[in-house]
Structure 1
């Protein structure tokens, strides 16, 4: 599933081709995404100009006309700029044609993504209860410490909770916990403030670095400009269960936490 760095990579990739461009035609080949594409979307965006492309958590916020087109890549979706008239593959559900001669094409084989319309996106049910952005000043170790008090759940699903902080998915939660030396199975409410300060710093560092490197290349995802991300080759634990730890050389362990596979080093993480 594309995580925050992949979504931010997509935003940066498509924004220069959308901002200031007018929509000439909306082509919807299949409305059956996770939530149906609104029937009146063409009325909302045709002949309107994209003014700004933002991101909130894993949602792309495409400001156009009097509202915002909310995009989510789901588990396997992507957005590409293609020349108008480019033949559509099987899962190319939507083309937003622009006056530049390009079209923003949304492709989603599993159809778990979304394209929704809102006049007030921050009040939309999908966004209204989200926690702070991990790269913002609002997110820090003090926040993690305060919100973890009394929590008996493991720390990994705790930091993956979008009500606590957005965008820390499975890959980056695993990597940040390894970098901070924290066992992902540890009870969230029993971790000290000092260790949460370190964890918050590692979350910020790793996410920022992954964004700079173009995200993490997964089976179903490449960056918004069609180029793959380059962070995957630098992963320390995610997807490496049974391999040797790059730091201490011991075999990495694997468990299930919150219905997700979690890889960790029992020697480096306590």
Structure 2
């Protein structure tokens, strides 16, 4: 699933091509991939509008159109937004084609979980799930104190708390495992047992790992590609994620692979006490 670094990379690579371009037409191959607003069809709302900019909130892309309309795109497990400079025959799993003044944007999704919702810009947060998201972990006002406050008095595992999008926006399985390894914290540690120093280490690890992921343009194990169809390179830097049963890069101990919070989790029992 694309997480914060992957979605941010898609945002950066897509805006380079589409800023200020008019959407001249839409081809809906699988209509359930999109959602209009009230009784207005998606294609009627969107056709003829210009793309002004693209923002990101957690794992969501916010494609800002003129006349106060926003497209909220969520990639879910296998969604992609690819830009093509010329007309392109849709691939097998392409569900929506946005025909622009110059080129096309194709929304594809093998597993059909991703969605693009059209919504009036003033209602973006009150009228969608965006309003429930926790803080952005790379913003300047996200501090160790804020992280501690978001955890509150929860008595759950760190892994579960960090996957909760209402606690912190944008984190997923990859970057949670990597952050906990860098912080030296076990994923089955209860959040209410952390010291002030450990909150500080975890905060720093989250920001460091996410920024490294962005710098490497994300992690491409299977489906993820940026808007140009390019893979991310962060896989080469992974310390624990996807490496269960292999030796720890730091201490050499075999990495543990367990199930926590409904997700496969990999960690080093020696480095993460």
Residue 31 of structure 1 corresponds to: 31
Output the TM-score relative to the length of structure 1: 0.95
Contact 2:30 2:96 in 1 (8 A): yes
Residue 151 of structure 1 corresponds to: 154
Residue 5 of structure 1 corresponds to: 5
2:18 aligned with 1:15: no
Q: How far does residue 69 in structure 1 lie from its aligned partner after superposition?
A: 0.7
Supply the distance in 1 between the matched residues of 2:132 and 2:71 (Cα, whole angstroms): 19
2:71 aligned with 1:72: no
After TM superposition, the structure 1 = structure 2 runs for residues 49-64 of structure 1, keeping only pairs within 5 Å, are 49-64=50-65
1:195-249 deviation per Cα after TM superposition (whole angstroms, max 9, x unaligned): 0111111111110111011100121111221111000011000011110000000
After TM superposition, the structure 1 = structure 2 runs for residues 58-207 of structure 1, keeping only pairs within 5 Å, are 58-66=59-67, 67-100=69-102, 102-119=103-120, 120-207=123-210
Q: How far does residue 125 in structure 1 lie from its aligned partner after superposition?
A: 2.6
Residue of 250, 253, 256 corresponding to 1:253: 256
Supply the distance in 1 between the matched residues of 2:109 and 2:257 (Cα, whole angstroms): 30
Contact 1:223 1:229 in 2 (8 A): yes
Residue 268 of structure 1 corresponds to: 271
Q: How far does residue 84 in structure 1 lie from its aligned partner after superposition?
A: 4.4
Query: Paired residues, what number?
Result: 267
Supply the distance in 2 between the matched residues of 1:207 and 1:85 (Cα, whole angstroms): 35
Residues 45 and 195 (structure 1), Cα distance of their counterparts in 2 relative to 1, 3 Å cut: same
Match of 1:177, SS state, is helix
Q: CA RMSD in A?
A: 1.3
Contact 1:139 1:165 in 2 (8 A): no
- The 4+ residue runs of structure 1 with deviation greater than 4 A are none
Q: How far does residue 138 in structure 1 lie from its aligned partner after superposition?
A: 2.7
Supply the distance in 1 between the matched residues of 2:25 and 2:148 (Cα, whole angstroms): 49
Residue 45 of structure 2 corresponds to: 44
Q: How far does residue 267 in structure 1 lie from its aligned partner after superposition?
A: 0.5
Q: How far does residue 74 in structure 1 lie from its aligned partner after superposition?
A: 1.4
1:42-79 deviation per Cα after TM superposition (whole angstroms, max 9, x unaligned): 22121111111111111110011221011111101101
